[in-house]
Amino acid sequence: MRRRTRTPAAPLAQREGIDPARVRLPEDPGARWATVGDFLRARYGGAVGDARVAEMLRDGRFVGVEGPVRGDEPYAVGLRLWFHRDFPAEERVPFELGIVHRDERIVVVDKPHFLATMPRGRHVTETALARLRRELGVPELQPAHRLDRLTAGLVLFVVRPGDRGAYQTLFRDRLVGKEYEAVAAYDEGVTLPVTVRSRIVKERGVMAAREEPGEPNSESRIELVERRGGLGRYRLLPATGRTHQLRVHMNSLGLPILHDPVYPVVREDGPEDYTRPLQLLARTLEFTDPFTGTPMTFVSRLRLSGLG
């Protein structure tokens, strides 16, 4: 049985709270690459152009454990390299993160609307993870779970990498109590409370998730808390965590969440309208700490504005 070799520590520091990308040169049965530079141009040239790869090599931005590579080194299977990608231009989300709890193991924050939890796609440095690493000076901080970019509320981050798996397991095994709050249309014809179960499918590259026939993979309990005119305040209790689950289930009831840019109709892409945040809030998190056995309950300090 082949032992897995431990990946060495990155020789590059984080930049703006973002870890360097890592690449390991693979087996080359066809001898396609004579040099390290040949491989890097084949791997990344299609995305950024061969000229940009050559420029990064000249600037010493591809770094191995023994230092920067020039690109003319002979190809070596298993060689590990690190580098920082070019960050996209990002508009700063004009809302701050609120620290709800911090100790030696975890940080619980109130994530504002419009801020992604972690780097993905065109949102890289303007994410909760990158901001927290910079602001708290905790470079190894990692999220235990993810909250949709347009949803506000509680997110749990883990301080030490070795602890992360234990907290992630709580979410995986549905040992975390989660309560959300939403503002949406009121319809006296919709009988509440109700438990919605359906099969939700989310395809990569497609903005909206959809429900389709088949065995349910999602479950949410929907309760009406308050009514004001044509709007209602709802308590949402998800038993599962499919992408966009609460938004899909509210929409399926004919109660789309206020200011939702995807359900029931996907709006055209354009500048963010920070005056119309999705009226969905991750309000509470409850769990038993896997290390201390202490029951933990956190309540968001944010408030939805949809009902005034």
- Tell me: pLDDT of 26 over 50: yes
Helices (H), 98-244: 128-136, 164-172
Rounded distance between C-alpha atoms, residue 244 and residue 259, angstroms: 14
Owner of token pair 């790869």:
53
Residue 183 has pLDDT above 50, yes or no: yes
Q: What is the mean pLDDT of residues 106-120?
A: 96
What pLDDT, on the 0 to 100 scale, is given for residue 249?
Answer: 98
pLDDT tens track for 190-233: 999 999 999 999 998 888 999 999 999 999 999 999 999 899 99
Domain ranges of the chain: 21-83, 98-299
At residue 1, the pLDDT reads: 47
pLDDT digits (tens, 9 = 90+) for 269-302: 778 999 999 999 999 999 999 999 999 999 999 9
Mean pLDDT of 34-60: 94
Condensed to tens digits (0 to 9), the pLDDT of residues 66-97 reads 999 999 999 999 999 999 999 988 999 999 99
Query: Given this model, what pLDDT does residue 8 score?
Result: 80
Percent of the chain clearing pLDDT 70 (strictly above): 97
- What is the structure's pLDDT at 4? 56
For residue 29, is pLDDT > 80? no
- Quick one: pLDDT at residue 5? 59
List b or e across 178-193, with b for residues whose CB sees 16 or more CB atoms inside 10 angstroms.
bbbbbbbebeeeeebe
* CA–CA separation, 69 and 63 (whole Å): 6
Number of neighbours of residue 3 by Cβ within 10 angstroms: 5
Residues labelled catalytic: 148
User: pLDDT averaged over the chain?
Assistant: 94
Question: Quick check: 216 and 199 in contact, CB under 8 A?
Answer: yes
**Percentage of the residues of the chain whose pLDDT score is greater than 90:** 88
What superfamily does domain 98-299 belong to in CATH? Pseudouridine synthase (3.30.2350.10)
Mean pLDDT across the stretch 127-132?
A: 98
pLDDT recorded at residue 228? 93
User: Is the per-residue pLDDT at 3 higher than 60?
Assistant: no
The CA distance from 133 to 143, in Å, is 11
